[in-house]
Amino acid sequence: MSQQATDLTHRLIPSPAGRIHLVEQGTGPLVLLVHGFPETWYSWRHQLPVLAAAGYRAVAIDVRGYGRSSRPAEVDAYRMPELVADSAAVVHALGEQSAVIVGHDWGATIAANSALLRPEVFRAVGLLSVPYTPRGGPRPSEVFARLRSAADEEFYVSYFQQPGRAEGEIEPDVRGWLAGFYAALSADTMSAPGAGPDPHFVSRGGTLRDRFPVGALPGWLSEHDLDVYAGEFERTGLTGALNRYRNLDRDWADLADFDGAAISQPSLFLGGALDASTTWLADAIAAFPVTLPGLVSSHLLEGCGHWIQQERAALTGRLLVEWLAGLPV
């Protein structure tokens, strides 16, 4: 086992979810790292030692519903204010009053809303892959229901929103499904031979897996890495993770008082130039001068897909450290 691995400290701490599992490395100002779907704390394995070496207390959590954190049974336990409460609870349970929060994918949305709802706790926010889009507009389920391809295929978010439907596709072969999903959104495999049509849509009567590339794993994902992810989801199932998608309308109602709200804390955005999250949400990125007036640094990484802190691990670590070094203490 490497020295870096042995330096990691695993903890279970109380939170509104019941418990949150986290992995910690280093001492100094607290940096809270929040993963997305379908991942765990392990997605930050490359950045934990880099942040620790730079003089930070780096803490990567398992979001409620994932890994060794609690998995409440109620679907509405995964609404955004509950996840924000978990973020704040972690900071206080670690004996800190404030922290920088950094998130990827759904974790970016959790990080943004943590900064928005609890500015006294989160003094800066880093967003990876998914740009900040303020609450507003029609009810989300209505928006996603209208997102269909020319062939009238269903958008993946609508597919995930129906309890049990995606689980029925994924859980008979968790490892194979994860391998395909990771590959479908990775720069080096998203257009590989055998790749199907756009993996963000589902054909009528089909599954999302029908669109995944067949063959080699993406370069950032070793067989061991895949075993780690698959082992967690084979143990926990996918319902807790998928319940995030099933609360979008609840979030829309819960956050009504923050309609159009900007995040004023110092912020960072990192995205992959080949990631649909950045191409589809290009207008949100263009609106950053209004929505993220404290933006310090923004980078679109050429040739990079969705899994940015794993596809471009060293560069992500360097950009994070550079941004953190410039923040007021």
pLDDT at 141: 87
* Helix or strand run (H / E) with residue 296: strand 295-301
pLDDT at 146: 79
Match 């509405």 to its residue by tokens.
76
Report whether the peptide linkage leading into residue 38 is cis, meaning its omega lies within 30 degrees of zero. Answer: yes
pLDDT at 191: 75
Give the C-alpha separation, 40 to 37, whole Å: 8
Is 188 in contact with 274 (CB distance < 8 Å)? Answer: no
Is 94 in contact with 59 (CB distance < 8 Å)? Answer: yes
Told to judge if 306 belongs to the known catalytic residues of this protein, a careful annotator would answer: yes
Give the C-alpha separation, 245 to 144, whole Å: 11
**Secondary structure of 270-308 in the HEC alphabet?**
EEECCCHHHHCCHHHHHCHHHHCCCEEEEEEECCCCCCH
In this prediction the pTM is 0.96
* Helix or strand run (H / E) with residue 13: strand 9-15
Quote the tokens at residue 116.
Answer: 């928005």
Taking every pair of Cα atoms in the chain, the longest distance, rounded to a whole number of angstroms, is 54
Dihedral class, residue 95 (left if φ above 0, else alpha if ψ from -120 to 50, else beta): left
Give the C-alpha separation, 327 to 329, whole Å: 6
Quote the tokens at residue 167.
Answer: 């689980």
pLDDT at 111: 98
Q: How many whole angstroms from its chain centre is CA 277? A: 11
pLDDT at 1: 36
3-state SS, residue 24: strand
- How far the first Cα of the chain sits from its last, in Å, is 35
- What is the total residue count of the chain? 329
What is the phi/psi pair of residue 99, to 5°? Answer: -160, 160
CA angle 175, 176, 180 (to 5 degrees): 115
pLDDT at 6: 56
pLDDT at 274: 95
Quote the tokens at residue 302.
Answer: 């050429």
Quote the tokens at residue 70.
Answer: 């609690």
Nearest to 103 by CA among 135, 132, 68: 132
CATH class of 3-325: alpha beta
Give the C-alpha separation, 254 to 210, whole Å: 35
Give the C-alpha separation, 164 to 160, whole Å: 9
Mean pLDDT, each 10-residue run in order, the chain (329 residues): 67 95 98 98 98 98 98 97 98 97 98 98 98 94 77 89 95 97 94 76 91 91 98 98 97 97 98 95 96 97 97 98 94
pLDDT at 195: 66
Q: How many whole angstroms from its chain centre is CA 247? A: 16
Of the residues 62, 86, 104, 105, only one is catalytic, namely 105
Match 């009238």 to its residue by tokens.
152
